[in-house]
Structure 1
Amino acid sequence: MIIRQFLLWTQHESAGRRAEAASSLARAYLYANLDAAARWEAKTAITALLDDPSPLVRRALAEACANAAEAPRTLVVALAQDQAEIAGLVLARSPVLSDADLVDCAAVGDEAGRIAIANRPTLSPMLCGALAEIAGTTALRALAANPSAQITRNSLMRIVERHGDDAALREALLARSDLPVDVRQAVTARLASALSAFVTGCGWLSPERSERVTREARERTTLGLAEGSDRADLARLVTYLRQAGQLTPGLILRAMLSGRMAFTEAALTDLSGLTAGRVAGLLHDPRGSGMAALYRRAGLPAALEPAFAAAMSAWHEEATGLRESGAAGLSRRMIERAVTACERLPFAEAHAIVALLNRFDAEAAREEARDLARALASEAAVDAVLETIPAGLMESYRQDRPRLAA
């Protein structure tokens, strides 16, 4: 009786009044203490309202049911396939929708629906994987910015592969605290490529010069990302670099000349196929024969072997100093030893290697100059502050300093 009277009434009322009635009836079904018969009639009535020609009515139903775990499943599934502004309400919040429902809606729906799904308070790895495959940049930005999204490494790589050229998406990915180091490397590589294309397009650098600058900047970034990573993360990183064609002899030499032996060991482990322990033993063999055998096993260019051997020998000599200083930049002493070792090679083999080492030396010299300039600027700032303190107060401080320290 209730359902018949309600449906007859809604046929003669305005869309606004029908929407108010739909909202009230839906909330009564969800939250009022109805008996079984009244509850069944209310459910049937709100389900029938899915056929109402006015989107205001269906939107009212969506607003009432969006957060309700007790909402009729058939009603919510139907609303999830309605117009974008209606579907988005339940897609973004409804606990009734399963992963299968959401994947289906993402596949056949529009980008607005995918954005709503990407903003849900919890997202399973399966759902994140589906969005990674089909969503556009706007939805993927929302997904990357969602801290509760359980995005697997493979899905993150797929996002970078599909839309890594989008600057806002790269920024959202890099802001994730759980971003694996190899994915972070992939994102920064796409950023470097975008910057290279920009400066080349503007005519600021030749394509060849731009490619070199980009490669060297990417290598510095790679070693920075690797710093502090555990063995498993380093292994994943070097595997990615090898597959992407970025695990070059120049990068490994840069790592060695910077004292980044953990990265060097991981790279040689990947290239040689030996165990990590075996690689470490050969690399640090004080006689040098182990390094030669490892180098050949890794398949690195023969022309670079003297540079690697000399750099490793220099590292053994100053390894204690490097560890104590915590320096992570290029060592000019190691570079000098490598240059000296390569100068005995025929010019045809040595000129490109020596040029690379000279660029490393110039980079190290500039970094030393930057550090010195920062230190001098800091001292100057301290002196400027001290000059503002009255002389009498400073003299009193100097006299009281021993007592205060005690």
Structure 2
Amino acid sequence: MPPVLGEIFLTLAGQAERDIRQQLSERLASVDWAPVALIEMLALDEIDIAAPVIAASPVLNDAALIRVLVETTLEHQIAVARRPHLSGGVVDAILDQADPITMTALASNRSADIGEAAMHRLVEHSRRVAGLRAPLTRHPRLSESLAHELYQWVGQALRQSIGERFEIDDRLLNAAVRAASASAARHPTWRPIPNERRLEDRERQEMERRLIEKLQTAGQLRPGILIRALREHRLGLFELALGQLGNFTPTQVRSAVYAPTAEPLYLACLAVGLDKAVFPSLLAEVRKLADGLPGDGGWTTTPMNSHSAARAFRQMMENTATV
């Protein structure tokens, strides 16, 4: 295709309706004759369009994948980390960014070219990123020496998993654990945490906060994330997203979730643009994660625009605070 015609084609493709770009991505994702420039453009599109080509396109080279890592959203980065047969160069780029969620996706990618040095970096990151530990214990490229290192800061269940794969000398390992603890006490960026669960909770909260920030920055934070978060049993992510979407405080959101009636949560969801027809199913999912709260009653599918709902919600929260 002549250069001028190619530029015209790309311009038209970029201006095409979303459904057309989606169809292009799905149809061209696995073919090796697709125009490289078009595939690269689709890979930088919104995630639903980009995902098929990121996952499978044979014409996406390392430079294009690294560009996706640098220029797009967290969801794009996760898609890159999950791409089958990921090269060592892209693996290193992911580790250089050191995003906990993306690295966790990478650790679960069994076909990625994760060499000994990259695996060592992942194990090192697992000191602070608890989510890395489980996939690393099962990874086929985990060596015995790295297994001993990983063993020092995982929980009992994961220690058993490592012990089933490798011959672990408890006497030598206990000595290594003591030496590592003594060294860690002098380490400027890491300290032993007596309560591993609290550490994992803090890390999860931080990852969720960063996810919301990245989605917000990229213009990808939409009410649909509320449903997704609940389906993934992530009430904390739901609360963060609702607060960010509605500019509500954490106290306001938590009060709505644990209110005696569902009216505050209903108003908050309407305020951020959630379709009122979706609210009953959302409410059922929240109750599963919040010990049956919010309580019954207090809401009806009354027509109300988002501005009125936001005003009513904030007024209700102010009245509750003064009770």
Which TM-score applies when normalising by structure 1?
Answer: 0.37
Larger Rg: 1
The structure in which a higher percent of residues are helix is 1
Structure with greater contact order relative to length (CA < 8 Å, sep ≥ 6) = 2
